Structure 1
Amino acid sequence: MKRLLSSIAALALTTGYVTAQSADLPANIERLQSMQSTGVKDFTVIEQTGAYADGIKKTLDRIKMPDGFKIELYAIVPDARHIAVGPQGVVTFVGTRKDKVWAVTDRNKDRIADEVKDFAPSLTFTIPNGVCFSPDGFLYIAEQNRVLVFPAAEFFYESPDVAVGQVVPQGELIPTDEESFNHTARVCDIGPDGKLYVSLGQPHNVAPPDKLALYDEVGIGGIIRMNTDGTGREVIARGVRNSVGQDFDPATGDLWFTDNQVDGMGDDIPPGEINHMRSVGLHFGHPWFGGGDTRTNEYKSEEVPVEVTMPASATVAHAADLGMVFYTGKAFPEKYQGAIFSAQHGSWNRTTPVGARVMVTTVDAEGNATTVPFAEGWIDENGEYLGRPVDVANLRDGSILISDDLTGALYRISYDK
């Protein structure tokens, strides 16, 4: 144990994660960066059985999927949003739009979680929606206006105190004047180049003209990347209204991401987006386009001053396409291998609800993408939401996890020949 702690401390020092801290930082993060205890001892542990779990299982009985697939309750996880499966297969971390990150453990490997508890309870998080792992086991958490890194998270999660470093200190991910209650759920990923990619939703329905220069400069309404120590930050995609899902194609290394379209334009326009970024520096249309090739009311009379990359796949309006992942397992039939599984959170700005389902996108040899429903049934006959899927993640056995922040749960979808 002492040897491991010393190794983590040395690693943090050599990568620049432990630095002199300013006086306004919370005392606990200073202590943890110096490998000192905080005195916090208690976890919040979530009950996994009982009437609440039974109610969710009953809802899952109505979910429709292709033949051979099965959906089951994996874990009760309050406010469950984005998912990061540990590369060692020990624990899964789940972000939220509140102040918790949850650690989900299936200790006996029966494909049902045995324990759900809060991660790093000695720290205070602010909208820790974005969780992602590097291949070598570093957990990154992208908050509203900060990015933290947790070396050896799959080991330290058993303790309230964890090894931690700041990739982007509080208040430096976006200008503090641009902090908002709207579109602040970040997502992150480690690219094939070893860099950290973070999406930065812009806080408006349609970005106003006086904000465009600032947003283009800092990457709000776009995607940024940086070295894993926070240096070398650059904006690599612009014109993105609010992306809350991204993944890299394991075959090509290209980044794909979802984007949420403009509200208030009617039930059936504009479409949602699944985008393909073939090169760095592309512009994806906002605010001149509200989704797909639909012009926004605010900018429809203006000439579009940029070259716009249209979505690879346009989805139903207002379904709120969020988390997505390329399927890397081998357990599903061949037609799904290498496909994109994505979550539609469901509409609010529509007279008849749509979405609340899991979609699958396949790409043909010419690069044409087709998106169709894969798992649906979370909207009942009365138009009432029984669940709202958020994210999708691969498990090592070839099954996938789906998060749901309405029920506060993770579901596992598997295939049985």
Structure 2
Amino acid sequence: MDKLKQFKVSGTDLNIPPVPQEGRNANAIRDNLKLVKLPPGFKIDLFAVVPDARHMAVAPTTNMLFVGTRKTTVWAVTDRNSDGVADEVKPFAPSLKFTNPNGVCWTRDGILIVAEHNRVLSFPAAEFFYEGPDVAVGEVVPQGKLIPVEEESFNHGARTCRVGPDKKLYITLGQPFNVPPREKLELYNKWGIGGIVRMDLDGSKREVFATGVRNSVGQDFNPKDGTLWFTDNQTDGMGDDIPNGEINRATKPGQFFGYPWIQGKTRITENGYDKDPLPPNVTPAQVLTEAHAADLGLVFYTGKRFPAKYQGGIFSAQHGSWNRTKPNGAQVLFTSLKPDGTADKTEVFASGWLDDETGTLRGRPVDVAVMKDGSLLVSDDYAGAIYRITYQP
């Protein structure tokens, strides 16, 4: 870090080995995609083989994107000949040691933000200077300053980020418990754990934007009205069918979304929260999804290639259940909006990664992103791939 901040070489090997894009694995993924169901006119193809692919940040200018993981790698994925299939996938900034760099996003002037478990880094002009192992880097939030170090956990540590219309950086902070102990609530509300924080792009002026969230792993701003929409994952251990998953809408700072007293329409029983009166001013979810389907990434469709029905609506990814008697999820949803900007109808857009007969998962969608040509990308950390969905009338 110290060397790169001074534009000095790190001594890392200049040759960065790419991920093979053809062969038995790629062919098997393509065969599985034949089982994916889409509305008429839509087609899904393999865009890239990307191990552990999580959240995506499509580059502003070039035909490439950066992909986060829950491990130690951020991937640079490039379609050099613009044919709709990636030609090169290789580690970004391998001279650095990342820790759970799940969240990737862009500032308006082309700075890549990487949100790790407990650090946030910035990379100026990353889409133009990613070829070698050494890149310019800055610290938005130094290591150990995003949350208290003693609150670090293997659970719910995947952050997501977005830069809002106010040019501030928004970061989701999942709380590390299934249900937080009461003695942790004051600390968590102070830090924004179990909520969303925002700050200037240099890390200053940090404030808690939203609270009452269990574990959001997806957010995006509606470009029409500037509201922030985000997913929330359900409490485990309450049965197959409760609580519902959520897609929420924040219209202003300081809103409280109910957790841990309520999630969806279900009062939370652990630690006796259901015995308390429901706190006032709970902002209800816009969309209630099937319990334990694990709603993660979401994006507003800003392209023009899909039919008018989809333009301006929300695509969201369901990772698929891990603790349900009958597995569910592993699909992509679409939510349309009403003229007033609130949610209208939610329907399944893409499915087939879950075999209903055997309960076997062939893939687990994590995030969705809109390419500049209007196609939709879907990341899958189980298959280690990114898919590209196109529309041809």
Alignment of 1:5-404 (within 5 A): 29-41=1-13, 42-289=15-262, 291-298=263-270, 299-366=273-340, 367-380=342-355, 381-404=357-380
Q: Between the two proteins, what is the percent identity of the paired residues?
A: 61
Paired letter, 1:325: V
* TM-score normalized with structure 1 length: 0.92
Deviations 1:125-149 (A, max 9, x none): 0000000011211000000000000
SS of equivalent to 1:328: coil
Paired letter, 2:4: L
Q: Is the 8 A contact 1:90 1:154 kept in 2?
A: no
Paired letter, 2:176: P
Deviations 1:44-83 (A, max 9, x none): 4100000100000000001001000000000000000000
> 1:91: how far off?
1.9
Cα distance in 1 for residues equivalent to 2:5 and 2:178 = 39
Cα distance in 1 for residues equivalent to 2:327 and 2:17 = 34
> 1:368: how far off?
3.7
Cα distance in 1 for residues equivalent to 2:17 and 2:293 = 33
Deviations 1:265-286 (A, max 9, x none): 1111110000011111000011
**Considering only aligned residues, what root-mean-square deviation do their CA atoms show, in Å?**
0.8
SS of equivalent to 1:89: coil
Unpaired segments of 5 or more residues in structure 2? Answer: none
Deviations 1:315-336 (A, max 9, x none): 0000000000000000000000
Paired letter, 1:292: G
Cα distance in 2 for residues equivalent to 1:68 and 1:314 = 28
SS of equivalent to 1:237: strand
Paired letter, 2:136: A
Paired letter, 2:324: R
Paired letter, 2:347: V
Cα distance in 2 for residues equivalent to 1:181 and 1:231 = 27
Residue range with higher mean Cα deviation, 34-43 or 157-166: 34-43
SS of equivalent to 2:347: strand
1:408 is matched with which residue: 380, 384, 387?
384
Cα distance in 2 for residues equivalent to 1:259 and 1:168 = 24
SS of equivalent to 1:104: strand
Cα distance in 2 for residues equivalent to 1:259 and 1:371 = 16
Change in 2 beyond 3 A, CA 1:306/1:89: farther
* TM-score normalized with structure 2 length: 0.98
When the two structures are aligned, how many residues end up with a matched partner? 388
Q: Is the 8 A contact 2:258 2:279 kept in 1?
A: no
Cα distance in 2 for residues equivalent to 1:393 and 1:76 = 16
Cα distance in 1 for residues equivalent to 2:278 and 2:144 = 32
Cα distance in 1 for residues equivalent to 2:4 and 2:34 = 45
Q: Is the 8 A contact 1:89 1:396 kept in 2?
A: no
Paired letter, 2:22: T
> 1:261: how far off?
1.1
SS of equivalent to 1:155: coil
Paired letter, 2:2: E
Unpaired segments of 5 or more residues in structure 1? Answer: 1-28
Deviations 1:298-345 (A, max 9, x none): 211111234211100100000000000000000000000001000000
> 1:40: how far off?
0.4
Q: Is the 8 A contact 2:69 2:102 kept in 1?
A: yes
Cα distance in 2 for residues equivalent to 1:44 and 1:232 = 40
Cα distance in 2 for residues equivalent to 1:82 and 1:220 = 20
SS of equivalent to 2:326: coil
> 1:370: how far off?
1.9
